[in-house]
């Protein structure tokens, strides 16, 4: 008996566990499938596919001409007030920047908008309520091969009273409907241009333009990498963007004015799946096709504080170079012109004044230490008494030596050199 009750309890517990698991899974899935909302109203596909996450926000189907597909859109009202919602189908368009957009209700339906047959056109929802609206996708028998796009639009309806009674539509949001007709599918993307222009406050606006030359939409992974010429600064921009068939798309990416300024290079890379069997939201095993645009080079002026710092650093470098050249010139002068002589004075300052040099230089050249007491008769390296005149004499004798060597024999040249050196020593 006890075994019987134990078995029955075990089976009941198992069923309860399975039921609880199903409820938890349902709640989890519903929480993950978020509706597209604007102003608290919106919707989502009612039957997303487990194998394609994009079907949680896009209606994606592959249908042959002349067939139909049952679908459903779940309308939600997450605002604080009761709402009356209009739901209808329209054709898709491309915005000025190349993004996906939906036509207005009043515009003619010539594409997917005409293929959509919704069960209801108007729904009244309380705050926090939702409602499933079934609809049918009817593909015409003459539908062309490739991808066709349309929209299911969810829009708030507002009644205006008074003398100007009428209907005011607001809070409009749309769900993309993508229908692919099988056949000779072409997936081809091309870079039309990659340009730049100066923006506000010294920024750079980079504008790539891509063209879809195929018959299905393509998800393009656009990446722009901007580096300075040393590769120390790096800015990456871009994202993944859908480009509809037979359409071109452009985007503007702003590179803010760099602090230090300088020369920069921007490179465009576009990756996409060229495999004809690729479906929206599903990756293909085939490798991605990579397109590279031209590299743009531009100069950006530094910011104000950076310019001040750079000027100060430049002046410091110039000062260091100047000091180095002066120091080297002085070393060369000491090495070539200074000679050892016996001194008769004991005061280093008097000796320095007599030779028209700094006493610190005199002490440095001779390795003298404080208190710099000099002994009479000691030999020190000293500059010539008239070192400027001697330098001028040497300057004049050098061309004479060269000319004499060119005009006369080697023996006469040696004699002239001895004479010139003698003149230099005497002076």
Task: Give residue-wise pLDDT tens across range 48-101.
Answer: 999 999 999 999 999 999 999 999 999 999 999 999 999 999 999 887 766 789
Q: What is the DSSP string of 355-389?
A: TTS-HHHHHHHHT--TT-BPPTT-EEEE--TTHHH
Q: 222 or 353: which carries more pLDDT confidence?
A: 222
Residues above pLDDT 90, as percent of the chain? 50
Convert the pLDDT of each residue in 122-143 to its tens digit: 999 999 999 999 999 999 999 9
**pLDDT computed for residue 4 by the predictor:** 40
Q: Give the separation between CA 220 and CA 272, rounded to whole angstroms.
A: 5
Residues above pLDDT 70, as percent of the chain? 79
The matching CATH number, chosen from 3.10.20.70, 3.10.350.10, 3.30.360.10, 3.40.50.20, for 307-426 is 3.10.350.10
Work out whether strand 59-62 and strand 166-181 pair parallel, antiparallel, or are unpaired: parallel
Q: What is the DSSP string of 404-421?
A: HHHHS-HHHHHHHHHHHH
| 318 band by pLDDT with thresholds 50, 70 and 90 | very high
What are the strands, taking DSSP E only, across 313-368?
A: 339-342
**pLDDT computed for residue 400 by the predictor:** 52
**pLDDT computed for residue 353 by the predictor:** 87
**pLDDT computed for residue 27 by the predictor:** 34
- Would you list the domain boundaries of the chain? 33-181, 189-302, 307-426
Convert the pLDDT of each residue in 11-30 to its tens digit: 444 444 434 333 333 333 33
Q: What is the mean pLDDT of residues 290-308?
A: 90
**pLDDT computed for residue 321 by the predictor:** 94
**pLDDT computed for residue 389 by the predictor:** 46
Q: What is the mean pLDDT of residues 224-229?
A: 93
Cβ(134)–Cβ(117) under 8 Å? no
The token pair that represents 146 in the structure block: 């490739």
Convert the pLDDT of each residue in 152-206 to its tens digit: 999 998 776 544 455 554 678 999 999 999 999 999 999 999 999 998 888 999 9
Res. 146: pLDDT tops 70:
yes
**pLDDT computed for residue 298 by the predictor:** 94
Convert the pLDDT of each residue in 390-422 to its tens digit: 444 455 555 555 554 544 444 444 444 444 444
| Crossing angle of the two packed helices 387-407 and 410-426, in degrees rounded to 10 | 170
Work out whether strand 83-94 and strand 122-125 pair parallel, antiparallel, or are unpaired: antiparallel
Where residue 98 falls (left for φ over 0; alpha for ψ -120 to 50; beta otherwise) is left
Res. 120: pLDDT tops 90:
yes
* Mean predicted lDDT score pLDDT of the chain: 82
Res. 209: pLDDT tops 80:
yes
Res. 423: pLDDT tops 80:
no
Q: Give the separation between CA 49 and CA 45, rounded to whole angstroms.
A: 10
49-53, 55-59, 294-298, 348-352, range with the lowest pLDDT: 348-352
**pLDDT computed for residue 402 by the predictor:** 55
Cβ(257)–Cβ(264) under 8 Å? no
Give the gyration radius of the chain's Cα atoms.
44
| 273 band by pLDDT with thresholds 50, 70 and 90 | very high
**pLDDT computed for residue 246 by the predictor:** 87
CATH topology (fold) of 189-302: Immunoglobulin-like (2.60.40)
Please state the CATH superfamily assignment of the domain spanning residues 33-181 in this structure: Immunoglobulins (2.60.40.10)
Instruction: Give yes or no on whether 189-302 and 307-426 have one common fold.
Output: no
Q: 272 or 202: which carries more pLDDT confidence?
A: 272
């Amino acid at each position: 008996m006890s075994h019987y009750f134990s078995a029955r309890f075990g089976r009941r517990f198992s069923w309860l566990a399975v039921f609880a698991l199903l409820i938890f899974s349902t709640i989890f899935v519903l929480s993950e499938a978020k509706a597209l909302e604007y102003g608290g109203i919106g919707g989502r596909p009612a039957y997303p596919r487990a194998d394609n996450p994009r079907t949680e926000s896009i209606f994606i189907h592959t249908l042959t001409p002349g067939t139909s597909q049952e679908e459903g859109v779940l309308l939600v009202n997450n605002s604080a007030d009761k709402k009356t919602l209009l739901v209808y189908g329209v054709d898709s368009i491309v915005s000025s920047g190349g993004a996906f957009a939906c036509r207005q209700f009043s515009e003619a339906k010539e594409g997917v908008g005409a293929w959509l047959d919704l069960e209801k056109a108007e729904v009244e929802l309380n705050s926090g309520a939702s409602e499933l609206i079934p609809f049918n996708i009817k593909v015409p028998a003459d539908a062309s091969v490739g991808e066709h796009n349309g929209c299911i639009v969810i829009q708030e309806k507002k009644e205006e009273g008074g003398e100007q009674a009428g209907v005011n539509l607001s809070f409009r949001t749309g769900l993309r409907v993508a229908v692919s007709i099988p056949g000779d599918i072409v997936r081809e993307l091309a870079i039309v241009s990659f340009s730049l222009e100066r923006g506000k406050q010294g920024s750079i606006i980079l504008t790539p333009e891509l063209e879809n030359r195929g018959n299905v939409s393509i998800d393009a992974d656009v990446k722009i990498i901007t580096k300075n010429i040393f590769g120390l600064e790096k800015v990456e921009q871009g994202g993944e963007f859908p480009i509809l068939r037979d359409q071109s798309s452009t985007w503007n990416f702003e590179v803010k004015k760099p602090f230090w300024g300088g020369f920069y290079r921007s490179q465009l890379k576009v990756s996409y799946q060229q495999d004809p069997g690729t479906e929206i939201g599903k990756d293909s095993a085939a490798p991605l096709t990579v397109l590279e645009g031209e590299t743009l080079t531009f100069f950006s002026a530094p910011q104000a504080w950076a310019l001040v710092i750079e000027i100060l650093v430049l002046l410091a470098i110039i000062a260091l170079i100047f000091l180095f050249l002066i120091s080297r010139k002085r070393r060369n002068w000491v090495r070539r012109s200074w000679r050892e002589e016996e001194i008769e004075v004991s005061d280093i300052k008097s000796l320095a004044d007599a030779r028209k040099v700094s006493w610190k230089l005199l002490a440095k050249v001779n390795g003298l230490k404080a208190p710099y007491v000099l002994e009479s008769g000691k030999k020190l390296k000293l500059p010539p008494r008239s070192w400027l005149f001697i330098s001028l004499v040497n300057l004049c004798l050098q061309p004479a030596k060269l000319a004499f060597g060119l005009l006369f024999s080697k023996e006469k040249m040696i004699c002239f050199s001895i004479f010139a050196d003698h003149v230099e020593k005497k002076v």
